[in-house]
Chain A
């Protein structure tokens, strides 16, 4: 058995030793907002936060999470970035979008007013094949400018 704190809720699940955090979230907890696109840590679609730090949940074993708080896109539903992404049209197919928002919210938590270069550096691990990048940058700037990053 493994205990997991996700978005402020405590869970207990029975997971084999090789179960990834992404699989545990999606299959065991039904939190399918976290996407799996490469399943080997190359694309960022599965990004979640552990105690506020963005990690790739597809290459994180669920048994290594311990008592760290897991934040997924479901836990950020009311984050101003969500609205900002929609307003800026920073989502096309939307498959990478949850991971983008999880990464962006961690960035703003650590750096509430990032420069363009800082955004591009922090977000370079989140691939978007549709090419929403200019809009993502705009959405993050919009939230930072409003001082809502915290």
Chain B
């Protein structure tokens, strides 16, 4: 019997209410620990296709008659098009169509940031399309861009209203404090730079628009494109079977998709619109910079008495306010907390979600300030964190659905203990130190998501769900879950995903939500099939259904009988056994989060400011782990991105013109294999008993959250310098070292 209930849905910290249909006969969670397939390392089911270059990405789509689009983007951060002449572009060899600001909503004649789309061309080749852009003549009226954050705050230039939160009375909290840290932290803008740039191929098949796109959210693109072209939703089919990385920036359709669709409509031919790397670095989203003004107070025993935090989030022209104050509000049990977040609007390219948006920035400030507080109170930073552990959600007293943070702290202890021997390695200008930082993030997923499973006569199963695998290995995790429930070896399970015409709705691959959202639906669908197999076998062999179970590709009876599954399914010849599964709600009245801690070991040359990250230990609690091998890769990947964020990556914006200066992968410094330290990771791997039929949370984002603060705290441990700004360039280090020396000198004089 299906029951309609209202539940809370969360994506990256944004909560909404959602109606959901719940099935009463939900499956019990599997027992803890590795099972037959789930919980054991699995190599990727699509690994060979990817490694051999056979996997077909959006960039590889070639359709008969396909045209190539190029987009004229504003070279100015703020300007007005006084006059535009598209006609010369139409005369360029190979050009089939040209559109301008009057032709499509995403094309504008009043750009408010560099890179905003003005006009577009479709031509036989990419080279012809780009050449035709040069033929478009535009008379610009240049306007003064708003780039200064203080001016923007004075003018109340906001994307959204300032967001205030308060519990208790912070001034009372500070009055109770024995030590107070007050400091300003800054984080930079970083760029996603997935290796496959943003792109789509659009083709009209009669009244249906087919969109091949590099996306993290097939269904979001479907809805957005249907809305833009006033189509019924199922008249848009979105396909992405292999996807070359997203990290948050590929959650919506993007101007390139709408441009390709419009050019395809006008020409009657398929159109490929692909951002080149320089467009990617300007116009495909970014992690927004922040300025964080923090004040923390604690008693001598380390008990936090007050947190007062202001966050200026420099979003650019558009976007949304990421939950930057989240860690200050939720990470620690503190009675008096006040936060204020500004969504500052500037004439700069808009932000987009980037792997744990808000929490990466907010954790950096909070966890650095906490260590500064530990230094002032002369307390062990790990002990300080334990002392302030939040046993329930400090915002609303809700219980956490499952929280193994204290166990994470316990496992981190021997790695934290290494600090004595690490510090002793210091020699000459090279100072060594160890730092820690705690991770908190969402990652519980939620409804709706669906899956279908079909079992064929030969005993092979196919999972159909229109989700996407953006490279995190979710296709493999779904195969493991179905194989486990069906008692089949993983080789006999195929997962078909990436096509809204070939399977039911599935969640966005963002907010660490794919596995915790789609996984339970896949298990439910496989469970539906398994139940039917048991029912058929019971009738066939005249046994009670309850004595039958599926394992090792067989139907097994409690009295010792065992039959290959194809003996049952084969009875049906071409008949198939079909199963449905839906993701149920999250536990009512509980807060579902992920947790962890990382320990960084660094070496700093105090003469040159050079930093070497030598080792990172990570332990995270994300509930049940489906694939330990893929999970380890997620942790390593998150940490490596975080090392880039900490030390080398920075989008530079010219402060006068608002133009992006770091437009290439030469100028924008991604980590290379030579920058990777030793990474040691582990997972608690205890199912969250309250969460779905799996007890699993997502792991895409947690590992990137605490690394920057752990590195920064290790630098303080090594040198005494309080680094408060990312990236930690040599200049930043030398500046912080100078300040530390001045502080010492003042102390001596005093």
Contact = CB atoms under 8 A, between A and B. Distances in A.
Overall SS of chain A's interface: loop
Interface residues of B, number: 55
Nearest to A36: B59
Q: Could you tell me the dominant secondary structure of chain B's interface residues?
A: loop
Contacts of A121: 674
B639 to A, nearest CB: 7
Contacts of A130: 245, 471, 633, 637
B194 A94 contact: no
A2 interface: no
Contacts of A89: 43-44, 47, 473, 629-630, 632-633
Contacts of B679: 134
A18 B277 CA distance: 19
Interface string B650-688: 000000000000001110001111101001000000000
Contacts of A39: 276-277
Given A96-B195, A124-B674, A131-B637, A30 B664 contact: no
Interface string A93-125: 111111001000000000000000001110111
A38 B277 contact: yes
A94 B471 contact: yes
B515 to A, nearest CB: 15
Contact of B47 (A32, A91, A134): A91
A73 B52 contact: yes
A63 interface: no
Nearest to A16: B127
Given A86-B48, A89-B44, A124-B674, A40 B277 contact: yes
B673 A33 contact: no
Of listed A38, A76, A121, residue having the most chain B CB within 10 A: A38
B196 A93 contact: yes
A86 B49 CA distance: 10
A132 to B, nearest CB: 7
Interface string B45-59: 011111111111101
Contacts of B471: 92-95, 130
Contacts of B53: 32-35, 72-74, 97-98
Contacts of A126: 673
A82 B277 contact: no
Most chain A beta-carbon contacts within 10 A, residue among B54, B127, B473, B637: B637
A124 B247 contact: no
Given A33-B53, A77-B52, A129-B670, A94 B637 contact: no
B638 A131 contact: yes
A4 interface: no
Contacts of B57: 35, 95
Contacts of A85: 47, 51
B440 to A, nearest CB: 22
B713 interface: no
Given A30-B62, A86-B51, A127-B195, A93 B44 contact: no
B208 to A, nearest CB: 25
Interface string B452-488: 0000000000000000001111000000000000000
A66 to B, nearest CB: 23
A45 B195 contact: yes
Interface string A1-42: 000000000000000001000000010001011111111101
B101 interface: no
A134 B44 CA distance: 17
Given A38-B665, A72-B53, A86 B674 contact: no
A129 B649 CA distance: 12
B230 interface: no
Contacts of B60: 26, 32
A92 B664 contact: no
A87 B641 contact: no
A77 B470 CA distance: 23
Contacts of A92: 245, 471-473, 633, 637
A82 B672 contact: no
Nearest to B639: A131
A143 interface: no
A87 B192 CA distance: 27
B310 interface: no
Contact of A132 (B243, B637, B666, B674): B637
B673 A129 contact: no
Nearest to A84: B51
Contact of B670 (A73, A83, A127, A132): A127
A95 B196 contact: yes
Contacts of B672: 123-125, 127, 133
Nearest to B678: A134
Given A45-B195, A94-B50, A37 B43 contact: no
A44 to B, nearest CB: 9
Contacts of A97: 50-51, 53
A95 B664 contact: no
B673 A37 contact: no
A40 B276 CA distance: 10
Contacts of A136: 673
B193 interface: yes
Nearest to A122: B673
A129 B195 contact: yes
With most chain B CB atoms within 10 A of its CB, the pick from A43, A101, A121 is A43
Nearest to B43: A86
Contacts of A37: 195-197, 244, 277
Interface in A55-97: 72-74, 76-77, 82-83, 85-87, 89-97
Q: Which of A82, A93, A97 has the most CB of B within 10 A?
A: A93
Contacts of A43: 195, 665
Nearest to B55: A94
B239 interface: no
Contacts of B55: 94
B69 interface: no
A36 B58 CA distance: 12
Contacts of A77: 52
B242 interface: yes
B59 A93 contact: no
B640 interface: yes
Nearest to A123: B673
A135 B127 contact: no
B308 interface: no
B690 to A, nearest CB: 30
Given A38-B664, A42-B664, A87-B43, A135 B50 contact: no
Contact of B59 (A35, A119, A125): A35
Nearest to A135: B633
Contacts of A134: 636, 676, 679
Nearest to B54: A33
Nearest to B633: A89
Contacts of A128: 195, 673
Interface of A: 18, 26, 30, 32-40, 42-43, 45, 72-74, 76-77, 82-83, 85-87, 89-98, 101, 119-121, 123-137
**Which 4 pairs of residues, A with B, have the shortest CB-CB distance?**
A33-B53, A93-B471, A94-B50, A131-B637
5 contacts: A33-B52, A86-B47, A127-B665, A129-B194, A131-B641
Given A35-B195, A133-B640, 5 more contacts: A40-B277, A42-B664, A45-B195, A89-B473, A90-B51
Interface of B: 43-44, 46-57, 59-60, 62, 127, 192-197, 242-245, 247, 276-277, 470-473, 629-630, 632-633, 636-641, 664-666, 670-674, 676, 679
